[in-house]
Amino acid sequence: MKKKTITIAASVLMLSSVLSACGSKENNNASPSASSSASESSSPSESAAASSPAAVENFDISLRHIQISDLQKFRKAILEEVVAKSEADVPGAKFEMDPVEDSVQRFTKLPAEMAAGNPPKIFDLFGGPGDGQKYARAGKLLDLTPILDELGIKDQFTDFSTFVVDGKVYGLPIGASSEGFFYNTEILAANNIAVPKTMDELDAAFAALKAKGITPMAMGSSAAWVPFMLVNTLVARYAGPEIQAGVGDGSRKLTEPEVVNAFAKYEEWIKKGYFTKGELGIDYTGQINEFIGGKAAFLFDGTWRASAFTAEGDGKALAGKVGYFAMPSATGGKGDQTAVNYNQNNGYGFSADVNDNEKAAIKAFIKNLYSEEYQIRGFKEDGVLPSMKVDPSKLPTENPLTKEAIAINAAAGSVFPHFDSLVAATVNGEFEKQIQNLIAGKATAQKATEAIQQVQDKELAALK
Amino acid sequence: MNKTLRNPYVYLLFVVPTIGLYFLFFVYPVFQSVVYGVTDWDGLNPAKFVGLENFINAFKDADFTASIRNNMYFILFSIFIQVPLIITFSLLISGVKRFQGFYKTTVFMPSILSTSIIGILWQFMYHPSIGFFNKFLGWFGIEPIYWLSDPKWAMLSVLVTNAWQWMGFYIVLVLAAILAIPKEINEAAEIDGATGIQRAIKITTPLIMPIISVVVMLSIAGAMRVVDIVLVMTNGGPAGATEVMASYMVNKAIRFGQYGYGTALSIIIFAIALILTAIYQLVFARKSERVEY
């Protein structure tokens, strides 16, 4: 009898320790899985539903965003409003906001979560073969086509092609942007420098500033996507606006002399010391702070940065003292020299693993966020160009920088995208590596382009 | 009751849960790693068997071999700079009559701080314009050094920070060994006219060789798996100058979704660590295993 008791006690102990070790937080309702929530949603009996009003079922829906610093305060405010509206639309829904730094989200957290099969329900997502399209092909993203059809907004977007796989839409761009030069008007005026119209004039401006001990261009290259913006535009200027698409589909090569010339121009600027000293140890925020602090004359950044240089922005010290222009034309440059960079590659994606409640919350989120109201407010408050078709007369143009950017874009003969929306993650990574190698003096323009093309050739061969 | 407790199966029943969990969370993942290491698994799609391709590619990969070299710098710095400093500081603190506890606590403090905090603190120390080092060098008219953004200096900067973090822990270990040496030995040497330095070199150090051997081995093991301080301070940069094997593996597996290749790298890291510690054990550690007073 005693033996039996001890055996039972030991078995209970064993089982309880195994069960406690394998327990989950499902019951806490912190992050209900699709299956558990689905069963919960079907649990109330029909008789109960008939006799009393349907009980509101509370559920959480995770929302990963990248609006973490003061520089993104306007965008965060818009997101919070959208969340409040969506919570009101879907009784019981509680959006759990999860802010993460953008590079960490794109390159570390989301890829790891995708591999583990537990991404948030709503998350910041980039399009293209290295991000959104890769996840969509693996069945990790929610097909938004039926939701867009139901909401009647599918034809409202100007371009969401980088989120499309086999005709289905898996993500929605939150806005559009161009990349160009911001400049400190006071520094340029004090040094008798006119806004450069050609690459030679830009070179001369850099040289004049450098000679006077002023850093020509603020640059933070610890994360290589920052200088990559500049290189991407330089490549288009020298090799034509079709180069990105051409390299992406294999019809063009990065080893073409014009592309090498673009890299050589960038290498020349590095060697001449036109960028912030110690740029490899400075991050994106550090770069902006340097420009805001008046320590550098130029800043190459996206049009979204325009909101910083207003009376309410982080760079209010420079309010009214900043101008914007697109990359000047290059002598001997191929193709349309007025072409501007135009990206609609960042927005939101949604997990494929959602139940009916979560899908309803996602639908409400899309309905509220992707509306004319927030496209206009994003433009007005944050300098984000609309990703949806908005009547131009409704877009306020108080901010001279956005006004300038729109005018430049309107005058441009064509547009070109960023390489990262057209090439695989490994190619994008090789671009970034070679850019940092150029900065560190570990590569030459020729070797860098050859190395990137080699990785792209390998990726294209794998697709065949 | 006693009869029951004499039954070995009852004991087995008690350890089964732990063994089960151990197999589930340690043994099974190890075997799973070996399996993934010979596939091209990308974390999203079904894995395909590729044989030893990942392992062959790893040794052809110039970035990975560079990261192995950086790990070797950690080992060499530990053995030739860190360990002598640990012994010196331990000897100095053991000789202190007053406030010995204070010194012990002070040197131990960095080891209880989180690596993230240490990384951020030292980033300020290395800051080109407001950092302590450049301010200090500035007094002698030396131009600012870009400690963490210049490939020439970044590795050394990380090595120094890593040494600062862990030296205190090892000092306390060595100090305990020094204080355990019978006082009579030192007193006898003192009566025979040995100076403090002579006693430290000829008596104390040989007597603490076993613990020094342990410190060296722990340093080698620590240097092989170093990654956190690198990720916090430089993230492997500038331009790969501080990339170590583990940070390279994480980057390849997670950012680029090359989980098969990343797993192969982790097996190589394990093998290198195993070989190095085995060599050390066989060549050096065995000789200093026993000390008889």
A18 → closest Cβ in B10, B17, B149: B17
Give the DSSP H or E segment for B15.
helix B8-22
The answer to whether the CB atoms of A114 and B44 lie below 8 A apart is yes
B159: pLDDT strictly greater than 90: yes
Closest chain B CA to residue A443: B239
Write the CB contacts of B29 (distance below 8 Å, at least 6 apart in sequence): none
Asked if B44 is an interface residue toward chain A (Cβ–Cβ < 8 A), one would say yes
What's the gap in Å between the CA of B156 and the closest CA on chain A? Answer: 15
Asked if B4 is an interface residue toward chain A (Cβ–Cβ < 8 A), one would say yes
Write the CB contacts of B237 (distance below 8 Å, at least 6 apart in sequence): A222, A280, A281, A436, B149, B154, B243
User: If pLDDT is split at 50, 70 and 90, which confidence band does B11 have?
Assistant: confident
A183: pLDDT strictly greater than 50: yes
The answer to whether the CB atoms of A279 and B149 lie below 8 A apart is yes
Which of B102-111's residues contact partners 24+ apart within 8 Å by CB, and which partners? B104/B171, B104/B172, B104/B175, B106/B168, B107/B167, B107/B168, B107/B171, B107/B172, B108/B168, B108/B169, B108/B171, B108/B172, B109/B168, B110/B164, B110/B165, B110/B166, B110/B167, B110/B168, B111/B165, B111/B166, B111/B168, B111/B169
Phi-psi category of A52—alpha, beta or left, where left has phi over 0 and alpha has psi -120 to 50?
beta
| Percent of chain B residues past pLDDT 90, beyond the cut | 66
- Strand stretches in A115-201, DSSP E: 122-126, 164-165, 168-169, 171-173, 179-184
Asked if A420 is an interface residue toward chain B (Cβ–Cβ < 8 A), one would say no
User: If pLDDT is split at 50, 70 and 90, which confidence band does B100 have?
Assistant: confident
The answer to whether the CB atoms of B146 and A426 lie below 8 A apart is no
- A451 with A443: CB under 8 angstroms? yes
Which string of DSSP letters, residue by residue, matches A371-404?
SHHHHHHHHHHH-PBPSB---GGGS---SHHHHH
CA B10/CA B13 separation, integer angstroms: 5
Helix (H, G, I), strand (E, B) or coil at A37: helix
Predicted local confidence at residue B291, as pLDDT: 60
Average pLDDT of span A79-87: 95
The answer to whether the CB atoms of A115 and B7 lie below 8 A apart is no
| CATH 3.30.365.10 at A60-176+344-390, yes or no | no
- B212 with B83: CB under 8 angstroms? yes
- A421 with A126: CB under 8 angstroms? yes
CA A65/CA A100 separation, integer angstroms: 6
B149 → closest Cβ in A278, A426, A442: A278
Give the DSSP H or E segment for A208.
helix A199-211
Average pLDDT of span A344-355: 95
B170: pLDDT strictly greater than 70: yes
pLDDT tens-digit map of A24-48: 444 444 343 333 333 333 344 444 4
| Cis check: omega of the bond before B84, within 30 degrees of 0 | no
Closest chain B CA to residue A17: B17
List, in sequence order, the alpha helices (H) in A338-382: 356-369, 372-382
* Nearest one of A136, A29, A402 to B44, comparing CA atoms: A136
Name the average pLDDT for chain B.
90
Closest chain B CA to residue A21: B21
Task: Identify all chain B residues contacting A23, using CB atoms and an 8 Å cutoff.
Answer: none
Q: Which of A1, A11, A14 to mutate to test the interface with B (most CBs of B within 10 A)?
A: A14
A149: pLDDT strictly greater than 90: yes
A 10 A CB-CB count for B129 gives 10
Predicted local confidence at residue B258, as pLDDT: 93
- Indicate the fold that domain A179-341+412-463 takes in CATH: D-Maltodextrin-Binding Protein; domain 2 (3.40.190)
Task: Identify all chain B residues contacting A436, using CB atoms and an 8 Å cutoff.
Answer: 237-240
**A122-126 and A346-350 strand pairing:** antiparallel
The answer to whether the CB atoms of B10 and A433 lie below 8 A apart is no
- B242 with B155: CB under 8 angstroms? yes
The answer to whether the CB atoms of A134 and B44 lie below 8 A apart is yes
Predicted local confidence at residue A423, as pLDDT: 94
Phi and psi at A60, nearest 5°, equal -100, 150
Helix (H, G, I), strand (E, B) or coil at A295: coil
* Nearest one of A142, A123, A168 to A346, comparing CA atoms: A123
**Domains of chain A, residue spans:** 60-176+344-390, 179-341+412-463
- B49 with B39: CB under 8 angstroms? yes
Closest chain B CA to residue A434: B239
Closest chain B CA to residue A13: B14
Which string of DSSP letters, residue by residue, matches B197-211?
HHHIIIIIHHHTHHH
Name the average pLDDT for chain A.
88
| Percent of chain A residues past pLDDT 70, beyond the cut | 88
User: If pLDDT is split at 50, 70 and 90, which confidence band does A54 have?
Assistant: low
Exposed (0-12), middle (13-18) or buried (19+): which is B270, by Cβ within 10 Å? middle
User: If pLDDT is split at 50, 70 and 90, which confidence band does A228 have?
Assistant: very high
The answer to whether the CB atoms of A7 and B17 lie below 8 A apart is no
What's the gap in Å between the CA of B109 and the closest CA on chain A? Answer: 28
**CATH code for the domain in which residue B57 is found:** 1.10.3720.10
Average pLDDT of span B280-291: 72
| Percent of chain A residues past pLDDT 90, beyond the cut | 71
A14: pLDDT strictly greater than 70: no
Q: Which amino acid is at A412?
A: A
pLDDT tens-digit map of B26-65: 999 999 999 999 999 998 999 999 999 999 999 999 999 9
In chain B the first and final C-alpha atoms are separated, in Å, by 48
Number of A/B CB contacts below 8 angstroms equals: 105
B251: pLDDT strictly greater than 80: yes
Give the number of domains in chain B. Answer: 1
Exposed (0-12), middle (13-18) or buried (19+): which is B20, by Cβ within 10 Å? middle
Which residue bears the tokens 């500035």? B138
CA B201/CA A439 separation, integer angstroms: 48
Exposed (0-12), middle (13-18) or buried (19+): which is A83, by Cβ within 10 Å? buried
Asked if B150 is an interface residue toward chain A (Cβ–Cβ < 8 A), one would say yes
- Specify the DSSP class assigned to residue B24: I
Helix (H, G, I), strand (E, B) or coil at A325: strand
* Residue B30 belongs to some domain of the structure: no
CA A425/CA A277 separation, integer angstroms: 29
Surface of A (201-230) touching B: CB under 8 A: 222
What's the gap in Å between the CA of A188 and the closest CA on chain B? Answer: 25
Predicted local confidence at residue A5, as pLDDT: 63
Q: What domain range includes position B255? A: 39-288
Average pLDDT of span B245-251: 93
Task: Identify all chain B residues contacting A273, using CB atoms and an 8 Å cutoff.
Answer: none
Angle at A279 between CA A278 and CA A282, to 5 degrees: 100
Predicted local confidence at residue A73, as pLDDT: 84
* Residue B143 belongs to some domain of the structure: yes
CA A462/CA A358 separation, integer angstroms: 37
- Strand stretches in A13-92, DSSP E: 59-65
Asked if A440 is an interface residue toward chain B (Cβ–Cβ < 8 A), one would say yes
Task: Identify all chain A residues contacting B45, using CB atoms and an 8 Å cutoff.
Answer: 137-138
